[in-house]
Amino acid sequence: MATTVKELKATARPKSGKGAARAERRAGRVPGVIYGNNQPPLTISIEDRELRQRILAGRFLTTLVDIDLEGKKHRVIPRDYHLDPVKDFPIHVDFLRLGEGATIRISVPLHVVKAETSPGVKRGGTVNIVAHAIELECGVESIPQYIEADVGALEIGHSLHLADVKLPAGVKALTREDATLVTIVPPSGYAEEQKAAAAAAAAGAAPGAAAAPAAGAAAPAAAPAAAAKAPAGGDKKK
C-alpha cells in the first residue's frame, strides 16, 4: 500500500543563521529547509507541536507531505530531522522537494507477520529480526509504508532472505537478494536436547548388536550339563 500524502502548514523564514533559528524555537516553531528538484532552497518554520506529533506517529521519513507555504503547496518527503540531545524535541527538519514522476531511494521498515504460526516459534524458537529496514528505489507515488516478511513457515534455525519477499510493483530493492532479513533462533538448551535425542536414537538402533553376545552366552551354560553326564557313563562300565 502506497504512502498517503499528509499536509503540513509552514511559514516562510526569510532570515537564516543560528540567531534566527533560536528565535523561531523560542516562538514555538521549528526551523527547516526545502531543497532539491533543481530549485533554490526555501527556509521555512513549522509549529513545534505539530511536527513533534508527526515524528512520534512513526514513518515520518517515508511519508509524502504537501507543505502549504503561504497558499502554495510543495510536494516533499522528510529527509532528516535533528533532536535536542537533552530535551529530545525537534530543533531542525529538512525536506526534499519532489518533482512529478520522480524516483527516490528510501529506507522502508520491515514488518514481520505470521510469527504465531511459525513451527519454529511453536517449538520455543524466537524471531530474530536481522534487518529492520530495506533500502528501496521507487517512484514517489508508490513508496510502500513497509515491507512484509512472512515467517509463518520457518522452522528453528531457518532464515528468510530478501529473495523470499515479494516487493510491490515498481519497487526495486537496493540490498542484495541473499541478504538475511529474519531468522528463528533456537531456545536455550536446544543444542543439548538435540544431542541427547541423537544419542538416544543411536542407542535405540543398538539392540541387534547386543543380541549376539546373549545368544553366545547360552553355550557355556550348556557345557557343565554335558560334563555332568560323563561320570555317570564311567560308573556303568565298572
pLDDT per residue as tens digits for the range 115-170: 999 999 999 999 999 999 999 999 988 888 899 999 999 999 999 999 999 999 99
Residue 140: per-residue pLDDT: 86
Residue 206: per-residue pLDDT: 59
Instruction: Tell me how many domains the chain contains.
Output: 2
Tell me if 51 is assigned to some domain.
Answer: yes
Which grid cell sits at 8? Answer: 503540513
Residue 2: per-residue pLDDT: 47
Residue 58: per-residue pLDDT: 87
Q: Quote the CA–CA distance of 35 and 74 in Å, as a whole number.
A: 10
Q: Is the separation of the CB atoms in 136 and 172 below 8 Å? A: yes
Report the CATH number at residue 50. Answer: 2.40.240.10
Residue 100: per-residue pLDDT: 80
Q: Is 111 in the same domain as 195?
A: yes
Q: Is the separation of the CB atoms in 123 and 115 below 8 Å? A: no
Output the pTM of the full model. 0.67
Which grid cell sits at 144? Answer: 510502500
Domain holding 77, by residue range, is 1-99
Q: Is 75 in the same domain as 132?
A: no
Average pLDDT of adjacent 10-residue blocks, the chain of 238 residues: 76 83 92 93 95 92 92 94 92 93 90 96 95 94 91 96 94 94 89 73 65 46 44 45
Q: Quote the CA–CA distance of 102 and 107 in Å, as a whole number.
A: 16
Q: Is 93 in the same domain as 152?
A: no
Report the CATH number at residue 181. Answer: 2.170.120.20
